[in-house]
Structure 1
Amino acid sequence: MGYKQELKHPFFVLVWFGVSHTVPFILSNESKCGTCIQNTGGPAVMVWGWVIVACATMLVGLAMAEVCSAHPTSGGPYYWAAMLSEPGNAPLASWITGWFNLLGQVAVTTGISFGCANFLSTVCTFNTSFIPTSRTTMGVYAAILVSQGLINTFGVHLLKYLNNISVWWHAAGTTSLVIAILARAPSHQSAEFVFSTFIDNTGVSGSEGWGTRASHAYVCVIGILMAQYTLTGFDASAHMTEETHNAAMAGSIGIVMAIGVSAVLGWFLILGLLFSIQDLDNTVASSTGQPVAQIFLDTVGNRGAIVLMVIVIGAMYFCGTFSITSNSRMMFAFARDGGIPGHEFFRKVDSKRGTPVRTVWLACLLSFILGLPSLGSAVAFSAATSIATIGLYISYAIPIALRVVYRKRFVRGPFHLGAFSIPIAVAAVTWIAFIAIVFLLPQANPVDSQTLNYAAVAVGIVIIYSVGFWILSARKWFGGPVSQIHVTVDWNELPSLVVIEADGRGEDDLRS
């Protein structure tokens, strides 16, 4: 791929399947989004929305896996965009894709680790007089990010073992949790309630919901946010390919397996939680602030709930840790190609540990900053999930779309979709265009400073920054992915008719 091997690579496909399997995994993401989902559509949207989103996301994953197999580098989508564009457009495509991917990566870490802080604050209220505030939760969030940064700095040699633990923690934790709440629940909801009950609690402060003001279809559409956000972050396998054996297949298999396993176990957990609800109104309006925690309390009691909460918190912590791992690799690769301010500083790899320590802490810092609006807005956390979804999926869509438009430039890797390649790619881009619009829409009525969907603001800032910076400055110096291979050539011995080209650059460029 033209890059010097700087990162250590002791990992195999199963290990980094674990990373991609962990980052979007159901225990972490669905649990902390429970309040939103039980207000926007209820059980019916949770159950059937999950199925629809899982199928659509698999199409996106297959299209990405095909491109990843052809171009397995830490840069992931922004590198693919450059390779699949016409040479003259490659730098711009790479630049825009890179900044959207960076935004999404940071927002994913924010969503996961801030959710972990919320759940940790909630479990601390069980059998105690502790009352969490936004400031105490922010302090817990900062401590979690620092600990995850330390693991990625000093414990990189342990990551493959921690990841194996994480895989089993998620799989066994999901199964045990569902069996426990179903077995101990005093009563169970009916199949009619689980599969066909529609709920619209999108109105706040006594206002009517969007179902009345607009339509029930609108509520259903915005209700799929949890499912779509949960099934994201699977580009983690792509960002880890430079540290994985058999990279051209490992990254692709990791992407597809992550979506497939998460989809199946996720639906299993959704059904278990819904069948175990004892009192819907009490669950939604839980004094704990977490509907999932209330389900635990109602089914297995206080002590059992603590155990189940520990399972969920552990899953969230693992997710956040490996999200930072993936995030730091993307930032390192982007800095290596000169794509972020201070790139000469952030492209350095710790020679002793073989890990990009500086981008590890950059990822932690940016994730903390993105979480700060939660101090003043009740919907800032939901906005973070929207930002993660929009940012990442736009960065997925650009290289997939370029693969369709410039199909002759695509050189297939060992993982290929054959005759289904173009139809799947087109379907994937269409779905992404749909969700990119959906997650900019307001989720609560009325819309004010406390209920505004700030995802539109954040995405607008990224568009203005990336496009504006490109026009004013970056177009003059950012050339896209930069080859690091050095070759010694005696130009006098070359035949006069030989023309050397690399990424569209001619002999004069190579001389310089």
Structure 2
Amino acid sequence: MTVTAAVLAEICSALPLSGSIYIWAAEAAGPKYARLIGYIVAWWACTAWMTFCASVCQTSANYLLSLLTIYDIPFPGADGLSTSNVKFRAAQWALSEGILALCIALNYLPQKSYSWVFKGSMALMAVDFVLNLTWLPVRVHMTYGFRSAKEVFTSQYNGTGAPAGWNWMLCFLVAAASITGFDASGHISEETKSASTKSARGILTSAFFSGLFAFLTIILFLFCIPPLDVWSEFTAQQPFVQVYHLALGRGGAVFMACLAVVGLMLNTSIAIVASSRLVFAVARDGVLPLSGWVGKVTEDGRPKNAVTVMTIFGALLLCTILPSTVAFTSLVSAAGTPTIAAYALIAFCRLIFTPNEFKNSKFGLGMWAKPFYVVTFVWNCIVFATYISPFYFPVDASGFNYSVVIFGAVTIFGALSWLLTKPEAWLYQGRVQRMKEQAAAEMVDDDKDEQGKV
């Protein structure tokens, strides 16, 4: 994913614009296919980011509801803390909606105050990581003991029912999901000073450090999880709450779960910042319903109404929890699929259509450009395949991964928008050219500022 980030950083540095990823895709495709690719990726990106925010709210709710297991509090209904229990789904929905409201509320803070959300998020992630790196393994050693190196690195457990090879491939799903979305800093480029450098650097460093710390965390957790026969008896929707309970005791489990929930809420608020800027950028050119209202900004340049759109969309999406878990789970799966597809498509277009463009990028790949495009395309195609794959075999209606259907529908909507929208209405080349010229002028000003500091 760091190679993918390098490819995106290259084009971000040359085009530091809000909405970023669909503009990058359009420009990477060249003049002939720019509008078609831009429309499709815009639909992909909006679907992915708006869905992601709602899904993380449900994850936070699962952490809190899972605390009932460590207090031995039975949940009403025959199936208890199971998603087959309609009463549990109702509680899960209500709590998720409340968490979404809190995350949205943070986005209405003044910009100076909101900077503390970023700082708080970073601090909580650091504390969480350090505690998992120190406190958890110490307590695991004192309680149920570590898994052996042989178990961690050579043993396999097929809980999916898939063929052995594909069961192994499905491991990439979690690994890739922990890093996907590192392009977020590009979505706020127009609000970032020296964006041609800072936004691009943000993409590259976030992917690298997310991958590094995710790798360390996964290895740590593999050593620290209890035996599989114990794990299989867990009933919580978030099993790590019960892992913490076994290792750290009740108080430690409550503390770590609350730490995770607060961290997730702050991170969701930050994700809403990125996704609302994306919605604003798409509406800015008049293609969305009520785009004139959605595209308005406050005096300090923030798209406040786009945040309101995020509120409405997220709240409605969470309502799909109530009738069926399959519907919401499929929508959650669809959160990552379009983003991965966009990464692959941008690399493909750079390789085929515009391999020699964007020479003004401060993060140019030079002689490594084409190899990086190939690696990015192939890798993200592999990850895409795991995202749309069924997670349990044999496949039936209750376990089918509908993300491929959602992805196909969104792609068709993007293509239809391209067919039915007049060229001058959205992604008009003259307007895009003015945006590029404005970005280039800002890059020159940034260079002058940097030279002045020297």
1:421 alignment counterpart: 369
Unmatched 5+ residue regions in structure 1?
A: 1-56, 203-208, 487-500, 503-512
Which residue, out of 361, 379, 388, partners 2:308?
Answer: 361
Shift of 1:413: 1.2
Q: TM-score, normalised by structure 2?
A: 0.86
Per the alignment, residue 194 of structure 1 pairs with 152
- C-alpha distance after superposition, 1:216-241 (max 9, x if no partner): 11111223211111111111110121
Amino acid at match of 2:66: T
Aligned-pair distance for 1:470?
A: 2.5
Q: Is the 8 A contact 1:98 1:395 kept in 2?
A: no
Give 2:34's match in structure 1, choosing from 90, 103, 127: 90
Determine if the alignment matches structure 1 residue 175 to structure 2 residue 130. Answer: yes
Q: Which residue in the other structure is 1:403 paired with?
A: 350
What's the CA shift for 1:260? 1.5
For 1:126 and 1:155, the matched residues in 2 are separated by 39
Alpha-carbon distance change, 143 to 167 in structure 1, aligned in 2, over 3 angstroms: same
Deviation at 1:481, TM superposition (A): 6.6
* 1:28 aligned residue: none
Distance 1:70 1:298 in 2: 51
Written as runs of structure 1 = structure 2, the 5 A alignment for 1:83-162 is 83-124=27-68, 126-127=70-71, 129=73, 131=75, 133-162=88-117
Q: Please name the residue that 1:304 is paired with.
A: 252
CA deviations on 1:267-289 (whole Å, 9 max, x unpaired) are 22222222222332222331223
1:316-351 residue CA offsets vs partner (Å, 9 max, x unmatched):
112211111100011111111234232212100022
Equivalent residue runs for 1:112-511 within 5 Å: 112-124=56-68, 126-127=70-71, 129=73, 131=75, 133-185=88-140, 186=143, 187-202=145-160, 209-210=161-162, 215-351=163-299, 353-380=300-327, 382-404=329-351, 405-473=353-421, 477-480=425-428, 483=431
- Note if contact 1:221-1:438 (Cα within 8 Å) is conserved in structure 2: yes
Distance across 2 between alignment mates of 1:369 and 1:335: 20
2:245 touches 2:253 (CA, 8 Å); kept in 1? yes
RMSD across aligned C-alpha pairs, in angstroms?
2.4
Q: Relative to 1, partners in 2 of residues 1:191 and 1:107: Cα closer, same or farther, differing over 3 Å?
A: same
One-letter code aligned to 1:442: P
**Structure 1 Cα separation of the partners of residues 104 and 43 of structure 2:** 22
1:72 corresponds to which residue?
A: 16
Residues of 1 paired with 2:357 and 2:36: CA distance? 17
Amino acid corresponding to residue 65 of structure 1 in structure 2? A
Q: Distance in 2 between matches of 1:68 and 1:284?
A: 45
Q: Deviations over 1:286-331 (max 9, x none)?
A: 1223221121011011111101111211221122111111000111
Q: 1:409 to 1:325 in 2, by over 3 A?
A: same
Give, in whole Å, the separation in 1 of the partners of 2:397 and 2:236: 24
For residues 358 and 71 of structure 2, what CA distance do their matches in structure 1 show? 60
Structure 2 unaligned spans of 5+:
76-80, 82-87, 439-454
1-structure distance, mates of 2:311, 2:20 = 20
Amino acid at match of 1:172: V
The one-letter amino acid paired with 1:118 is N
User: Any conservation in 2 of the 1:241–1:251 contact (CA below 8 Å)?
Assistant: yes
Query: How much does 1:197 deviate?
Result: 1.8
- Aligned 8 A contact 1:97 1:395 in 2: yes
Aligned to 1:49: none
* Partner SS, residue 227 of structure 1: helix
Query: Please, what TM-score do these two structures have when normalized by structure 1?
Result: 0.77
The question of whether the paired residues in 1 share the 8 Å contact of 2:48 and 2:336 is answered with yes
Deviation (angstroms), 1:447: 2.2
Report the residue type matching 1:81 in the other structure. Answer: A
Number of residue-to-residue matches in the alignment: 421
Q: Is the 8 A contact 1:229 1:388 kept in 2?
A: no
Per residue, is there more helix in 1 or in 2? Answer: 2
Output the CA distance in 1 between the equivalents of 2:69 and 2:114.
32
The question of whether the paired residues in 2 share the 8 Å contact of 1:81 and 1:94 is answered with yes
